[in-house]
């Protein structure tokens, strides 16, 4: 093999690889351009037939979102653009810090309010339990008094009924003098 032939082959392969790199770079660049342009939607009114002066009803309205890059891609920023970008980033950072402080403050207020609600609920629960204990204590004392009174009445009626002969069907009536006829009986 000849060295010239090898050099020509290597040079051809190098040119082919450069060509492939250029073609793929163009495709990537087109893909990047498509990625930076955000899709947007619009509301479109379509008139069909006679509207008789009425406005058609919009079923669904989408908002348009446009994202514009401040500075073009693939180049270095000059000093003024750098200063503008620094100011924008500082403002954005300050806004984020304010939002974070607001969220922290809101969360602290929510926790404080929740603690107060829980404390109030606990106090109400304890007050309700004490009220129920007092109620059941009064009910228990009343039931105990009624039971003692009932037991006393039952004991009294049993004691007095046993002494009353008329309740038992035995009635002696009035005592009368017993007279015996003479000679009717013998006494031993």
Is 85 within 8 Å of 69 (Cβ atoms)? no
pLDDT tens per residue across all 188 residues of the chain: 678 888 888 889 888 888 888 887 766 666 555 555 555 666 766 666 666 667 767 677 777 665 556 666 666 777 888 888 889 899 999 999 999 999 999 999 999 999 999 999 999 999 999 999 999 999 999 999 999 999 999 999 888 876 665 555 555 555 565 565 666 666 66
- Chain centroid to Cα 8, Å, comes to 76
Q: How far apart are CA 19 and CA 149, in angstroms?
A: 116
Q: Take residue 44 and report the two structure tokens written for it.
A: 């479109």
pLDDT attached to residue 177: 58
Q: Take residue 146 and report the two structure tokens written for it.
A: 């009624």
pTM as predicted? 0.36
Q: How far apart are CA 92 and CA 154, in angstroms?
A: 91
Q: How far apart are CA 181 and CA 188, in angstroms?
A: 16
pLDDT attached to residue 176: 62
pLDDT attached to residue 76: 76
């Amino acid at each position: 093999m000849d060295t010239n032939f090898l050099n020509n082959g290597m040079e051809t392969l190098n040119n082919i690889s450069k060509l492939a790199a250029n073609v793929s770079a163009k495709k990537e660049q087109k893909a990047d351009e498509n990625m930076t342009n955000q899709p947007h939607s619009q509301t479109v009114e379509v008139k069909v037939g006679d509207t008789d002066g009425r406005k058609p009803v919009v079923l669904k309205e989408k908002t348009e979102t446009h994202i514009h890059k401040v500075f073009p891609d693939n180049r270095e920023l000059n000093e003024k653009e750098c200063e503008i970008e620094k100011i924008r980033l500082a403002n954005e950072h300050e806004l984020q810090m304010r939002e974070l402080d607001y969220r922290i403050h809101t969360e602290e207020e929510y926790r404080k309010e929740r603690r107060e609600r829980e404390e109030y609920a606990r106090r109400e629960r304890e007050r309700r339990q004490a009220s129920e204990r007092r109620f059941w204590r009064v009910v228990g004392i009343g039931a105990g008094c009624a039971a003692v009174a009932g037991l006393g009445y039952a004991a009294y009626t049993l004691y007095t009924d046993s002494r009353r002969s008329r309740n038992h069907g035995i009635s002696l009536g009035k005592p009368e003098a017993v007279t015996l006829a003479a000679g009717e009986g013998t006494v031993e």
